[in-house]
Amino acid sequence: MESGLISALQTPECYPHPVSDIRLIETHISWVLLTGDYVYKIKKPLDLGFLDFRELSARRHYCEEELRLNRRLAEPVYEAVVPITGSPESPAINGDGTPIDYAVRMRQFDPEQTLDRLSERNELTPEQLDELAERVASFHDSVPSLPPDSPMANTDDLRDAMVDNVTTALEHLQEAGDRQQAQALLEWIRDTFEQQRERLQQRLADGRIRECHGDLHLGNIALFQGRITVFDCIEFNPEFRWIDTANDLAFLLMDLESRGHPAWSARVLNHYLEHSDDYEALPLLRLFSAYRAMVRAKIALLSPADSSEAEQQNLDRYRRYAELAERYSMIPQPWLAATTGFSASGKSRFSSALAEQFSMIRLRSDVERKRLFGLGPTESSNSAQDAGIYTQDATRQTYQRLQALAHRALATGYPVIVDSAALHQKERDGLSEIAESLGVPFVLIACEAPESVLRERIRERARRSGEVSEADEAVLDQQLGSADPIGESERSHTIHVHTHTPGALEALIRALDPGPRGH
C-alpha cells in the first residue's frame, strides 16, 4: 500500500498548491517529497525496536511530536501536520475525508545551504559559527529538565549505550590493529564513565539532563531566511533526546572535528560556554565526543556493502571515526596562557586566534565580569569609570572567577587562555600561581601597540554594535597611568607581541607551537 501511495504522491494534482517538480528522498524511516515551495515528510510503517510506526495513530502522534519538537528551533520551517486523504491510488494532501496517512509539511530550503555543504565548500563564516553556538546555548537553556525520578534518569543505560557501540564494532572487526584499538577504547570508556559517574548524577540533580535535539550535526543545520536554523530533532524515541546538554553539544563538536575543522569546534565550544556558563560540562566532553564518534564508527562498519570496494570504504570510514575517538581518549597536555595589555591592544583578537589554533578554552574577563552582574556578553552595563561593574571589588571578583575557571579547565586537561588586561602584577601572579599549582606550563602574552593605534581602535570599536568591551579612551587614560610594568620575575615566561605589525600573530603561533614548554 505505502509504496503505491508514495508513487501516487509524485503527481502534482495531489497537492493543494502549484507544483512544478517533485523529488523523492528516502531515509531509513521516512519518505520526503520535495515539491518546490514545500516539503512533505511521511513516516514509513516500520517497527525497528527503537521506534514503531506501524499504526496510523502512531504515525500521526510522531508527526505531531516532530512538529512540536522542531518548532523550538525551526519554527519558520515546520508549518503543520496535514492529513493525506482519498485512496492510495488517488491521494490528496490536506484533502477532505478520512485520513489514510499523515505528513509533516515544511517550507523547502536550498539543500546546498545546509552547514555540511557549506563546510565542504569552506563557506562557513565565524559569525555563523558564533550564531550557531549562541542558538544552541539559548535552546539548551530554554528546554525542560528531566525529573530525577524519571525512568530515563538511569545512568547505567547511558553507560550500556556507550559500551554497546564498541562491543558491536568488535564483533565485526577482523584486523588485529583495529581490534586492539577498539579494546583499548572500550576499557577507557568503562573506566572514564565510572570516574565521572558521580558528576553525571550531579548533572541530573542540577537539571542538565534536558529535552535536547539528539541529532545535532551539520547535516541537520541550515541557513534559512538568513538565519542559522537547526532542524530534524529526534522525535521517535524520547531516550535519544532526553540527554545531558553536554552530550547534545558534543555531537556538534565531534562532527566539526571529523570534517577537519578543529578550530571551528573550539570556536563553537568557547562561544557556547560564554553564553551558557556551563563550564561544568568540560570534564564530560571528551567522553561524550568519543561516544558520538563511536556511534558514527559503528554505523559505518554496519552499513550495507555490495562489493569489496564498498566494504573497504565502510572500513575506512569506521577507522576515521575510531581514530577520532582514540584522540579524545589520549592523556591531554594542558598549559595556560594569559594576555596582558591596554584596552584595544589586540588581546581579544589574538586570544581568539590562539584558542582556535590550539583548541584552548578561552576565558574573557569582559564576559565573566558581566556574568557576575547578570549581564550577557554584549549587554551594556552603562557603568561609569570605577563604578557599577568596574569597581575595584568587581575587578577582584572577576579575577577570582577567571582563576577558578582556569583551574577547573586545566584540571580537566584543556589548555586555557585567559583574555584580560591583567595590568597589575597581582592579577598576573594569581594566574601564574594556578599554572604552578597544577604543574603546567605558563606563558604571558604582552600585547602592545602605539598609543595612537590604541586610541584609533577604541574609536573604531565604539562605532560597531555587539561589542563585548565597554572600554573607552577615558579608561585607556587611566590604564596608561596606573599599569604595573612586566616585573623581573615575569620576563622569563613573557612573550611581547606588537599587534599592529604584519605577521605578528603568525610569529606568535610559531613561538607557541606545540605549547610554551620553552617559556
Q: Where exactly are the structural domains of the chain?
A: 2-108, 115-329, 336-512
Residue 174, CA atoms < 13 Å, CB-side half-sphere: 4
**Selection from 49, 326, 322 nearest residue 169 by Cα:** 322
- CATH number (1.10.1660.10, 3.40.630.10, 3.30.56.10, 3.40.50.300) of 336-512 reads 3.40.50.300
- Whether 515 has a pLDDT exceeding 70, the answer reads no
pLDDT band at 54 (very low <50, low <70, confident <90, very high): very high
Contact 51, 238 (CB under 8 A): no
pLDDT band at 387 (very low <50, low <70, confident <90, very high): confident
Average pLDDT over residues 115-143: 97
Average pLDDT over residues 287-308: 96
Cα angle: 428, vertex 403, 285; to 5 degrees? 130
Average pLDDT over residues 108-112: 94
Dist. CA 458–CA 345, nearest whole Å: 9
Contact 420, 402 (CB under 8 A): yes
Dist. CA 36–CA 42, nearest whole Å: 17
171-215: pLDDT as tens digits: 999 999 999 999 999 999 999 999 999 999 999 999 999 999 999
The verdict on whether omega for the bond into residue 151 sits within 30 degrees of 0, i.e. cis, is no
425-484: pLDDT as tens digits: 999 999 999 999 999 999 999 999 999 999 999 999 988 878 889 888 999 999 999 999
CA dist list (Å): 510 to 102, 358, 503, 505: 59, 11, 11, 9
- Whether 514 has a pLDDT exceeding 80, the answer reads no
- CATH number (1.25.40, 3.40.30, 3.30.200, 3.30.70) of 2-108 reads 3.30.200
- Whether 519 has a pLDDT exceeding 50, the answer reads no
- Whether 1 has a pLDDT exceeding 60, the answer reads no
**pLDDT reported for residue 464:** 85
Average pLDDT over residues 231-258: 98
**pLDDT reported for residue 20:** 83
- DSSP, residue by residue, 502-516: TTHHHHHHHHHTT-S
Average pLDDT over residues 282-308: 96
Cβ neighbours of residue 43 closer than 8 Å, sequence gap 6 or more = 29, 30, 53, 59, 62, 63, 102
106 forms beta bridges with: 39, 78
- Whether 518 has a pLDDT exceeding 80, the answer reads no
**What angle do the packed helices 392-412 and 425-438 form, to 10 degrees?**
20
CATH topology of domain 115-329: Aminoglycoside 3'-phosphotransferase; Chain: A, domain 2 (3.90.1200)
